[in-house]
């Protein structure tokens, strides 16, 4: 099965095929960074502490198909769950943008045809993460970063 041309502009995300849904991911790796949520304000802070499955160079999950088995707290984002998870997704995330009714950024691989356009635009976490097994959870706040946008 193949994805439809410019499907993100014409097909509601709830009507996309599984392949089209997966193609929305730009490969930035930001969703695989551990976050800290302020219990009082609900504000979400991004850290450079990455999930143990994230490959820091490719910004891809090393065990994507079985990630939920290996990391039970991993969120498997679907059209049905985007509404409850969009608040912590990266501001540049295609899933979040489409849910908000906004267009994809001009550097998105679906527009450029080049997966490296994410890195070239400076929105990837390539080379800037530390693995979660190297940082105690109570030290994550020492690794808070601004989202690369």
pLDDT digits (tens, 9 = 90+) for 46-98: 999 999 999 999 999 999 999 999 999 999 999 999 999 998 999 999 999 99
The answer to whether the Cα torsion of 19, 24, 28, 31 is positive or negative is: negative
- Which residue reads 């070239």 in tokens? 120
**Domain-located, residue 16:** yes
pLDDT of residue 48: 97
Domain that holds residue 73: 7-145
DSSP for 124-138 reads --TT--EEGGGS-GG
Using a cut of 0.85, tell me whether the model's pTM lies above it.
Answer: yes
**Domain-located, residue 121:** yes
**Domain-located, residue 68:** yes
Nearest to 134 by CA among 125, 143, 126: 143
**Domain-located, residue 140:** yes
Three-class SS state of 21: helix
Q: Are 90 and 28 in contact (CB under 8 A)?
A: yes
Q: Percentage of the chain surpassing pLDDT 70?
A: 99
Q: What is the DSSP letter of 4?
A: P
**Domain-located, residue 92:** yes
pLDDT of residue 125: 96
**Domain-located, residue 2:** no
What does the angle CA 128 – CA 134 – CA 139 come to, to the nearest 5 degrees?
A: 85
pLDDT of residue 70: 95
pLDDT of residue 73: 92
How many domains would you assign to the chain?
A: 1
State which H helix or E strand residue 14 sits in: none
**Domain-located, residue 1:** no
Average pLDDT, the chain: 94
Q: What is the dihedral of CA 58, 26, 48, 126, to 10 degrees?
A: 30
Q: At residue 142, does pLDDT exceed 60?
A: yes
* pLDDT band at residue 4 under the 50/70/90 scheme: confident
């Amino acid at each position: 099965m193949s994805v439809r041309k410019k499907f993100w502009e014409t097909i509601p995300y709830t009507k996309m095929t599984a392949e089209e849904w997966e193609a929305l991911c730009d490969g930035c790796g930001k969703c695989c960074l551990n976050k800290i949520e302020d219990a009082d304000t609900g504000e979400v802070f991004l850290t450079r502490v990455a999930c143990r499955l994230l490959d820091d160079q490719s910004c891809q999950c090393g065990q994507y198909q079985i990630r939920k088995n290996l990391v039970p707290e991993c969120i498997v984002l679907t059209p049905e769950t985007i509404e409850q998870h969009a608040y912590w997704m990266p501001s540049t995330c295609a899933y979040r943008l489409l849910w908000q009714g906004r267009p994809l950024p001009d550097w998105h691989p679906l527009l450029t045809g080049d997966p490296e356009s994410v890195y070239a635009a400076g929105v990837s976490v390539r080379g800037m993460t530390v693995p979660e097994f190297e940082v105690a959870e109570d030290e994550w706040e020492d690794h808070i970063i601004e989202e690369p946008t």
